[in-house]
Amino acid sequence: MESAADRSRILDPSLHPEGSLAIAWARRHSPVLTGLVASTFEDGSLEGVRVAVVVHLEAKTALLASVLADAGAEVVVAGSNPHSTRDEIAAALVERGIEVHATRGSDYGTWEKDLLAVADREPMYIVDDGAELTIRIARQRPDLYRRLRGVSEETTTGVERLRRLEAEGNLPFPAMAANDAACKHLFDNRYGTGQSTVQAVLQLTNFVMAGKEVAVVGYGWVGRGIATYVRAMGGRVSVIEVDPVKGLEALMEGHEVGSAASVLPTADIVITATGGMRAIGMRDFPHLKPNVVLANAGHHDLEIDVAALEEQAGAPRQVRPGVDRYEWNGKPINVLSKGALVNIAGGLGHPIEIMDLSFSVQGLSLHELVVNDLDPGVHILPKPLDDAIARARLEAEGVHLDSLSSEQVDDMGDWIGGR
């Protein structure tokens, strides 16, 4: 019989020892995923269930795949972005008997083929990121799309894509918006991306943050997190937004807020976090400060229009690992990690404790899909499960909360009383 190794497409199986060490480290620091979630799956609900995991392929994702496989699932894995795949992690998964289709830095054509190879394993459920596998199955494997039993989605952009499919009347299965659980976006999008993005930018450039002016494009959960960490390290934040409430929020936080044309000329570093495409594009290049550093934290590699920059400035010169320098009309512009998510493609990704939360949400979301007969459409993890994840994480940190006394509960019911 063909083994997982025979079916996989990875760079080099011999890289597995380094990958296994990284996964073991992640396991040691993921008490919720390996505790609460693993014990939830002890009900046998995943036995023989085929699950595709298409999330940035690094150590924490590999741990999630392993927890699902340990629970009896037949797991097949690909990366949600070729620039974030870790080849040693892919090798460790294959060594453990899990099929993988991914290599770091593959061209987009090869990446598409990897995703379709995963589709051709006919998964019943998908743990997706950016809905990258789901939208390809919708377009290119319509029969399989109709048979899918459920999708659990990791990120803001993917949830938006699923909601659009639902609005078009083309979501024939239940989908869990894992991103919308409190234990996901409040921590992962804000603290996890905030910390890891700033870390990656500084590591790739070897710059100091203190005294830098940093333009943050998009002040949603991710932008807010980035702004917090930039300020904590002594940088000054300017925000570019299109939503008036978000713009006002940024102002109240004490940041500069303005249009791209007013903010970009003084920004040393520009970080995009909009979830859209071409947030920094042709009309912005004339405003950029010479030697500026451009980095992206949003889902799409197209958030900085690197293709347009290359068309106008010619091919870049790699001046450091992960740093491409363009000469635009004689002005040097540096792009990090080719415009892919800088914290994952150019850094270590999210902190383990954060992914313990995010992937616990994914795990319990998948469990909900498998054990319940949910209606087609986008669903959110029930609050008691979200709370159980937060409580388990607090307990792992040695923190125990108070609970309301019966008297306090009674007072809350007495909504007319009081002075």
Residues near ligand NAI (CB under 6 A) are 155-157, 185, 188-189, 193, 217-223, 240-243, 246, 273-276, 279, 297-299, 341, 343-344
Rounded-to-integer distance, Cα 282 and Cα 279, Å: 10
Q: For residues 91 and 295, which CB has a smaller minimum distance to ligand NAI in the complex?
A: 295
Residue written as tokens 């042709």?
Answer: 282
For residue 83, give the 3-state DSSP assignment. Answer: helix
Question: What is the closest distance, in whole angstroms, from the C-beta atom of residue 103 to ligand NAI in the complex?
Answer: 21
Q: For residues 109 and 244, which CB has a smaller minimum distance to ligand NAI in the complex?
A: 244
Q: For residues 74 and 301, which CB has a smaller minimum distance to ligand NAI in the complex?
A: 301
Question: What is the closest distance, in whole angstroms, from the C-beta atom of residue 402 to ligand NAI in the complex?
Answer: 31
Q: For residues 41 and 221, which CB has a smaller minimum distance to ligand NAI in the complex?
A: 221
Q: For residues 298 and 363, which CB has a smaller minimum distance to ligand NAI in the complex?
A: 298
Q: For residues 238 and 274, which CB has a smaller minimum distance to ligand NAI in the complex?
A: 274
Rounded-to-integer distance, Cα 150 and Cα 175, Å: 5
DSSP letter (8 states) at residue 5: H
Question: What is the closest distance, in whole angstroms, from the C-beta atom of residue 326 to ligand NAI in the complex?
Answer: 21
Q: For residues 117 and 151, which CB has a smaller minimum distance to ligand NAI in the complex?
A: 151
Question: What is the closest distance, in whole angstroms, from the C-beta atom of residue 152 to ligand NAI in the complex?
Answer: 15
DSSP letter (8 states) at residue 294: E
| Contacts of 21 by beta carbon, 8 Å cutoff, 6+ apart | none
Helix (H) or strand (E) holding 112: helix 108-119
364 burial type by CB count under 10 A (0-12 exposed, 13-18 middle, 19+ buried): buried
Sort strands 174-176 and 150-153 into parallel, antiparallel or unpaired.
parallel
- Residue with the CB atom nearest ligand NAI in the bound state: 220
Rounded-to-integer distance, Cα 165 and Cα 160, Å: 9
Q: For residues 34 and 81, which CB has a smaller minimum distance to ligand NAI in the complex?
A: 81
Q: For residues 73 and 175, which CB has a smaller minimum distance to ligand NAI in the complex?
A: 175
Q: For residues 173 and 219, which CB has a smaller minimum distance to ligand NAI in the complex?
A: 219
Rounded-to-integer distance, Cα 57 and Cα 54, Å: 8
Report the 3 state secondary structure along 298-339. Answer: CCCCCCECHHHHHHHHCCCEEEECCEEEEEECCEEEEEEHHH
Quick one: tokens of 245? 């409430």
The pairs formed by 274-277 with CB atoms below 8 angstroms and a separation of 24 or more are 274/217, 274/218, 274/220, 274/223, 274/298, 274/303, 275/156, 275/157, 275/160, 275/218, 275/220, 275/299, 275/300, 275/303, 276/218, 276/300, 276/303, 277/302, 277/303, 277/305
Residue written as tokens 């919708």?
Answer: 138
Question: What is the closest distance, in whole angstroms, from the C-beta atom of residue 338 to ligand NAI in the complex?
Answer: 14
Question: What is the closest distance, in whole angstroms, from the C-beta atom of residue 44 to ligand NAI in the complex?
Answer: 32
> Listing from the earlier edge strand, what are the strands of the sheet with 213-217?
256-257, 236-240, 213-217, 269-272, 292-296, 331-336, 323-328, 317-320
DSSP letter (8 states) at residue 400: -
How many residues make up the chain in this entry?
419
